[in-house]
Amino acid sequence: MRDRMIQLLLFNVTNGLIIGAFYVLMAIGLSLILNLSNVINFAHGGFLVIGGYIAYTLEPYLGFWGALVASPFLTAIIGLAVERLLISRVYGRDPLYGLLLTFGLAFVFEDGTRIIWGAQGKPFTIPAFLSQPLSNEFFFITGYRVFMVAMVTVMIALLFLLLRFTRAGIRIRAGTLDLETVAVLGVNARALRSLNFAVGIFLAGLSGVLAGGQLGLEPTMGAGLLMPSFIAIIVGGVGSLVGTLVGGLLIGVASGVTAVILPPASEAIMYVLMAVVLLVRPRGLFGEEGMLT
């Protein structure tokens, strides 16, 4: 009995990491936008759904792989348009306006998806070789999950390299600390924010395609995935991408483990974790005091 329990626990830690990886992908995009532009993007879930649906629409023509590549770019282009047309207008204003604007956009996206693709969920198929478990014993590690984790790892690594070694990346990091000074130094803050937003939405679109392979594609799916990302950011500390990364993995593992011990609390544990972090370390695990206050 005890052996089985430990085995179960191990299963769930691995599994939690897999789930956490997915939260991370979503939360990092959200975090990028929040850090540089001070906008909590409530429409992030909406972009995720659009990413999923675009992939669904493209799949018959481009196949799964084509859709996987094309959809995030198309989503990012839509995101860029939305940012230029609407969101850029609330930069520098009270964060309240960014919240309300994206909150309204979330409605528009959800209903827009319903108008275009219908309220009925859509079946998004993934290649057969991915939708199988790798081994009988570790049946919960399917090809698709491994693929997802690999994708997330590669994307996060790329993102961190981009932020560290490219000019734009360094500017984004500097802007996160003090955009005003960066702008005074002659950097085009407007372009920087747009680029940053597009990268964030690219990640949301990618999350959408990946989620579509695992979950049912339907207009309301984004809203449910938004809250764990929020918590990941709070736990990790606002302003720190590493924090978001750790936060996402942490809540994934926590909810995975709790699902074994006390299933009804598997979601509540994320909130408990957040409360504990806020009590013990109010700025979050990797947050710096003074950041975004």
Partner 1 sequence: MNRPYHAAPLSRRTILKAAAAAGVAQFAAPFVITARAADTVKVGMIDPFTGVYAAVAQNELIGVKFAAEQVNAQGGVLGRQIELLVEDSANDVGTGVEKARKLIERDGIQFLIGDVNSAIALAIAQVSNEKKVLHIVSGGHTDGITGKDCHWNVYRVCNTTKMEANSVAELLFNKYGKKWHFITPDYAFGHTLQEAAVADLKKFGGTMTGNELTPLGTSDFSAYLIKARAANPDVLLVLPQGSDMVNCLKQIAQFGIEKQIHVAGLQQELESLEAMPPEARVGIWMFEWYWKQPGVEGVDKFVADIRKRSGGKVPTARTWFGYTSLMSFALVANREKTLDGVKLAKALGDFELPADVKLQPNKCYYRKGDHQLMTSSFVGQALKEGKSDPEDLFQVDSIVAGDKTSPPESETGCTLQWPA
Partner 2 sequence: MSEVNRKLAMLAAIWAALILAPLWMPLVGGYTALGTRVMVLGLAAMSVNFLLGFTGVLSFGHAAWFGLGAYGCGLLLKFVALSTPLGLLAGTLLGGVMGGLLGALIVRRRGVYFAMVTIAFGQVFYYIAFQWSSLTGGDDGLRPFYRQPLHLGVATVDILHDSTAFYYFVLVCFAFAAAAMGFILRSPFGRTMLAIRENERRARFLGIPVEMHIWIAFTLSCFFMAFAGSLYALVNNFADPRGLHYSQSGDFVMMAVLGGMRTFWGPLLGAVVFVMLQDYISSITINWQIFIGLFYVACVLFFPRGVLGILRRKATT
Give the interface with partner 2 as residue ranges (CB under 8 A). Answer: 34, 38-40, 42, 86, 89-90, 93-101, 103-112, 114-115, 227, 230-231, 233-234, 238, 264, 267-268, 271, 274-275, 278-279, 282, 292-293
Closest CB 161 distance from partner 1, rounded Å: 27
Task: For helices 2-37 and 189-214, give the axis angle rounded to 10 degrees.
Answer: 150
Binder of residue 11, out of partner 1, partner 2, none (CB less than 5 to 8 A by kind): partner 1
Dihedral angle at the C-alpha atoms of 215, 217, 218, 219, nearest 10 degrees?
Answer: 110
Q: Which of residues 103 and 140 has its CB atom nearest to partner 2 in the complex?
A: 103
Dihedral angle at the C-alpha atoms of 96, 98, 101, 107, nearest 10 degrees?
Answer: -100
Distance CA 229, CA 29 (A): 9
Is position 99 an interface residue for partner 1 (rule: CB under 8 A)? no
Q: Count the helix, strand and coil residues of the chain and give each as a percent rounded to the nearest 5.
A: 75, 0, 20
Distance CA 101, CA 88 (A): 11
Question: Which residues have C-beta within 8 Å of that of residue 243, sequence separation ≥ 6?
Answer: 233, 235, 236, 237, 284, 285, 286, 287
Would you call 251 helix, strand, or coil by DSSP? helix
Closest CB 187 distance from partner 1, rounded Å: 11
Stretch of 24-32, 67-75, 120-128, 241-249 lying at the interface with partner 1 (CB under 8 A): 120-128
Binder of residue 218, out of partner 1, partner 2, none (CB less than 5 to 8 A by kind): partner 1
Q: Which of residues 200 and 219 has its CB atom nearest to partner 1 in the complex?
A: 219
Q: Which of residues 99 and 141 has its CB atom nearest to partner 2 in the complex?
A: 99
Site for partner 1 in 32-51 (CB under 8 A): 38
Distance CA 181, CA 194 (A): 18
Is position 63 an interface residue for partner 1 (rule: CB under 8 A)? no
Q: Which of residues 62 and 112 has its CB atom nearest to partner 1 in the complex?
A: 112
Binder of residue 288, out of partner 1, partner 2, none (CB less than 5 to 8 A by kind): none
Closest CB 280 distance from partner 1, rounded Å: 26
Q: Nearest CA to 285 among 249, 243, 224, 227?
A: 243
Q: Nearest CA to 175 among 253, 246, 92?
A: 92
Closest CB 217 distance from partner 1, rounded Å: 7
- In a 13 Å sphere around the CA of 276, the CA atoms on its Cβ side amount to 10
Closest CB 242 distance from partner 2, rounded Å: 17
Q: Which of residues 6 and 280 has its CB atom nearest to partner 2 in the complex?
A: 280
- In a 13 Å sphere around the CA of 241, the CA atoms on its Cβ side amount to 23
Is position 224 an interface residue for partner 1 (rule: CB under 8 A)? yes
Binder of residue 183, out of partner 2, partner 1, none (CB less than 5 to 8 A by kind): partner 1
Residues in contact with partner 1 by the rule CB under 8 A: 4, 8, 11-12, 15-16, 18-19, 38, 85, 88-89, 91-93, 110-112, 114-115, 118-126, 128, 131-133, 139-140, 142, 144, 179-180, 183, 189-190, 211, 214-221, 224-225, 255-256, 259-260, 263-264, 266-267
